[in-house]
Amino acid sequence: MSAPHLLIDAGNSRVKWALVREDGTQTHSGAFAHGGQLVKGTGDPLQSRHEPDWSTLPQPGSAWLSNVAGDAAARRVDAFIDRYWPDLPRTTIRSAARQCGVTNGYTTPAQLGSDRWAGMIGARAAFPGEPLLIATFGTATTLEALTADGVFVGGLIAPGWSLMMRSLGEHTAQLPTLDASAARGLLDSGGSPASDRQNGAVKRAAWFATDTPRSLSSGCALAQIGLIERMWRDLQEEWKAPVRLVVSGGAAGELVQALSVPYTRHDSLVLAGLALIAAQASDNPTADAHRA
């Protein structure tokens, strides 16, 4: 059996990784935050309690990366790989005009974020032959519309839930600055929508809050959901077909509380797409792998 692929999804908030066999079977996975703390006595900023210990992993044959977090993150991840496998071949993907059954409708295909591209490839493989609306709740909230035959017709980018709350707190005199952890507690605590359900759905009136932190948390959550539901309904009307709403991202668990439309959750779309890109390159090593 050939050596597994190491897959790395470096997003704006954290790094997700997985080790997969050639057939796509995942054997190991994890995540760690950006910005490792210095380990006392080492002066090594790469070592962090948030990072995994890869010393017990089997030797991968290659690494495949999607990085939207910038050059500093790329150097940090590179150095982290070098600590364990300094000679490991690695490819940082970029978006292509066509790959793994997905056609890129961007005016300049390479300008599409590599995470969005890999995520669409993963979604297309998970739900073949279905029209899709892919909503990712991360630092930014992104939407991608994918036709049943795999054509990406376009998307949207909006501030993410946490970014929206933080912006309000930083630019208004009397509003608190909430982070995602605090906001999750507000949505999950007594009197919040999570505890006020009727037949499995959240009562609309439950989102009207009676204190400022909950008003801020719920208002920003509903701003996210209003965007998603509007575009989902518009796509169904335009395409005259059922559209599967696929949701993912770090804030998905909280925000889907407010959804009033059907959805499917899939939290490994980017890694799934990377696995397919790596497998395609292994099958045809002379083809353009769209390396950055």
Angle at CA of residue 274, ends 51 and 67, nearest 5°: 55
> How far lies 283's CA from each of 90, 125, 212, 250, in Å?
17, 17, 56, 33
* Residue 39 φ/ψ, nearest 5 degrees: -90, 125
From the candidates 71, 82, 115, 267, which is the catalytic residue?
Answer: 115
Q: How far apart are CA 149 and CA 142, in angstroms?
A: 21
Q: How far apart are CA 22 and CA 7, in angstroms?
A: 12
Looking at residue 166, its amino acid is R
DSSP per residue over 114-138, as a string?
A: HHHHHHHHHHHHHSTTS-EEEEEES
Catalytic annotation on 267?
Answer: no
DSSP per residue over 48-111, as a string?
A: -TTS---TTSPPPSEEEEEE-S-HHHHHHHHHHHHHH-TT--EEEB---SEETTEEE--SSGGG
Q: How far apart are CA 199 and CA 212, in angstroms?
A: 28
Q: How far apart are CA 7 and CA 210, in angstroms?
A: 45
Q: How far apart are CA 166 and CA 180, in angstroms?
A: 9
Could you tell me which residues come within 8 angstroms of residue 206 by beta carbon, excluding any fewer than 6 positions away?
191, 192, 193, 196
- With b meaning 16 or more CB within 10 Å and e meaning fewer, what string describes 202-220? beeebbebeeebbebbbeb
Contact 279, 272 (CB under 8 A): no
Active site residues: 115
